[in-house]
Amino acid sequence: MIRVFIVDDHPVVIEGLHSLLQNEKGIEWAGHAMNASSCLGFFINNTADVLLMDINMPEMDGIELCSVIKNKYPGIFILGLSTFNQGIYIKKMMENGASGYILKNSSRDELLKAIQTVNNGGIYFSGEAGDALKEYQKSSGPQLPELSRREKEILGLIAEGYTNPQIAEKLFLSSFTVDSHRKNLLAKLDVKNTATLIRLAVERKLI
């Protein structure tokens, strides 16, 4: 029996999910909350297995609530819930410990599948949401200035811990040249030092 709890500030959504799930065997309706604080209140004296959570809520939003819940109760699996699919929010939810993401207009079957998958420790994405996330991850860097071949090469070596003189030796260049490229990298990517350069490079998967 999977105990499901809902947090959403839209009564219609709660009603709808309730009617979808109430006659479902294997699913127990643990209750609902209409904002973050009353949700946290519920979990003080109660618990649930799966928490369906709206992303857009007044006061504390789903992303933050997700993080709080996961810290206090790591055993509760959280399924993000939203009307639109915006990659950024999906990604943040996942980073904060959510186990999946579905759209509010999902079919009953999809909803059940998602709940069950998540309850088993799995990760579930509704097809469209998955696409959105993928798309976001790809398109999260059209504003990145293009790096030349040499620059990428040197960036990679910097990330591997080589110093300018070492890189110069490796590539048969003057260390002045390597330094120039390095400065160009800092300038192009608009970062102040090696630390932020590497961070950006790894996060944006340039290396």
Which residues make up the interface to a copy of itself (CB under 8 A)?
83-86, 117, 120-123, 128, 158-161, 163, 191-199, 202-203, 207
Separation CA 81–CA 103 (nearest Å): 6
Near DNA in 93-132, by CB under 7 A: none
Q: In the bound complex, what is the minimum distance in angstroms from residue 185's beta carbon to a copy of itself?
A: 12
| Stretch touching DNA by CB under 7 A, among 4-12, 42-50, 69-77, 168-176 | 168-176
The C-alpha angle with vertex 92 and arms to 66 and 58, in degrees rounded to 5, equals: 55
Indicate whether 170 belongs to the interface with DNA (CB under 7 A): no
Binding partner of residue 85 among DNA, a copy of itself, none, CB cut-off 5 to 8 Å per kind:
a copy of itself
Question: Exactly one of 37, 163, 169, 203 binds DNA (CB under 7 A); which one?
Answer: 163
Closest CA to 66 of 40, 45, 31, 88: 40
Alpha helices in the chain (DSSP H): 11-21, 36-45, 62-72, 87-95, 108-119, 127-139, 149-159, 164-171, 175-188, 194-203
Indicate whether 177 belongs to the interface with DNA (CB under 7 A): yes
Closest CA to 115 of 50, 61, 63: 50
Indicate whether 13 belongs to the interface with DNA (CB under 7 A): no
Closer by beta carbon to DNA, 85 or else 164: 164
Q: In the bound complex, what is the minimum distance in angstroms from residue 86's beta carbon to a copy of itself?
A: 7
Sheet holding 27-33, edge to edge: 27-33, 2-7, 50-54, 77-82, 100-103, 124-125
Separation CA 141–CA 88 (nearest Å): 13
Closer by beta carbon to a copy of itself, 43 or else 124: 124
Closer by beta carbon to a copy of itself, 65 or else 117: 117
Question: Exactly one of 131, 148, 169, 190 binds DNA (CB under 7 A); which one?
Answer: 148
For 14, phi then psi, to 5°, come to: -60, -45
Task: Please state at what angle helix 108-119 crosses helix 11-21, rounded to 10 degrees.
Answer: 80
Binding partner of residue 202 among DNA, a copy of itself, none, CB cut-off 5 to 8 Å per kind:
a copy of itself
Q: Which tokens go with 98?
A: 């959510």
- The binding site for DNA (CB under 7 A) comprises 146, 148-151, 158, 163-166, 171, 173-174, 176-177, 179-183, 186, 192-195, 197
